[in-house]
């Protein structure tokens, strides 16, 4: 079996993060249609999909401070709300994939995942490996997990991917949503320029430039995502992380960006 490619559909891309639980249906449909077209030409390439929480999970996690754990008598309501919202968003993503003739199967991280002090300790990797080997497309997502120290925690899609890398050994992780990592916030600075490559030579200087996320995001925004992916490539030196917009999906899957985008790799 070829090494899998992990693809994250960013929550900011799939939803309007300034409005609770609002899905951007047309974007989701276009992305899965593009993926289906590429897969028809590459039917043996294993694909793992993941998606962020956007205005579904992040809205409830912010309201109940779920990332802090069980802190008051309302916290378990937060766990329930986040789990429900993320499961519904997952069903929407899986449904769109099925409509596009992609054999997608939703995987709930909370069902098999456990954390300790905010760090993932266990996840159902063998189940996902079996689905990949069968030619299906598992669809994971950022989720609330039970935590043996603080009761619960929020595990972003990037952290879920990180927990799967050791077993599944992907060749590439594509983070689809933002057009690239920029040297300034492009929403506030028209002169902001995309950073094509982040490696050991420039990582420290670039991470100092990065800000957070537009709208509600309890997982920390772009800076935390880049930091998490950098830690990952340090442990998996052959892995490459590609950050690009949805229109670049076909190019990123083919290994050749034809527009703005950022590649994170060790060297």
Three-class secondary structure assignment of 42-54 = CCCCCEEEEECCH
**Inter-residue contact 29 to 67 (CB < 8 Å):** no
For the beta carbon of residue 196, count every other beta carbon within 10 angstroms. 12
Give how far the C-alpha of residue 255 lies from the chain's centroid of Cα atoms, to the nearest Å. 19
CA distances from 252 to 77, 90, 142, 176, 232 (A): 39, 23, 22, 9, 19
Compute the Cα dihedral for 263, 226, 179, 190 and give only its sign. negative
* Binding positions for substrate: 53, 58, 157
* Binding positions: 8-12, 53-54, 58, 157, 221, 225
Between 157-168 and 125-133, two packed helices, what is the crossing angle to 10 degrees?
Answer: 70
Short-list 118, 123, 85, 119, CA closest to 107: 123
* Binding positions for ATP: 8-12, 54, 221, 225
- Burial code (b: 16+ CB inside 10 Å, e: under 16) for 54-67 equals bbbbbbbbebbebb
Alpha carbons 159 and 181: distance in angstroms, whole number? 19
């Amino acid at each position: 079996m070829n090494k899998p490619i992990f693809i994250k559909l960013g929550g900011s891309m799939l939803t309007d993060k300034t409005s609770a639980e609002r899905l951007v249906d047309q974007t989701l449909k276009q992305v899965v249609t593009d993926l289906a077209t590429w897969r028809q030409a590459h039917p043996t390439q294993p694909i793992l999909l993941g998606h962020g929480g956007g205005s579904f999970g992040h809205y409830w996690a912010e309201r109940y401070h779920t990332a802090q754990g069980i802190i008051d008598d309302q916290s378990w309501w937060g766990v329930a709300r986040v789990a429900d919202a993320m499961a519904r968003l997952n069903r929407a993503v899986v449904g769109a994939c099925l409509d596009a003739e992609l054999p997608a199967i939703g995987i709930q991280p909370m069902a098999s995942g456990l954390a300790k002090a905010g760090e993932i300790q266990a996840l159902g990797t063998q189940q996902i490996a079996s689905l990949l080997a069968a030619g299906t497309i598992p669809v994971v997502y950022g989720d609330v997990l039970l935590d043996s120290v603080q009761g619960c925690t929020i595990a972003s899609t990037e952290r879920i991917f990180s927990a799967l890398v050791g077993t599944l050994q992907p060749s590439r992780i594509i983070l689809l949503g933002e057009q690239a990592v920029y040297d300034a916030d492009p929403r506030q600075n028209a002169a902001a320029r995309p950073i094509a490559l982040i490696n050991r030579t420039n990582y420290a200087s670039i991470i100092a430039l990065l800000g957070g996320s537009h709208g509600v995001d309890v997982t920390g925004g772009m800076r935390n995502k880049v930091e998490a992916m950098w830690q990952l490539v340090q442990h998996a030196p052959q892995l490459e992380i590609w950050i690009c917009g949805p229109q670049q999906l076909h190019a990123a899957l083919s290994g050749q960006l034809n527009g703005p985008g950022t590649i994170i790799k060790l060297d």
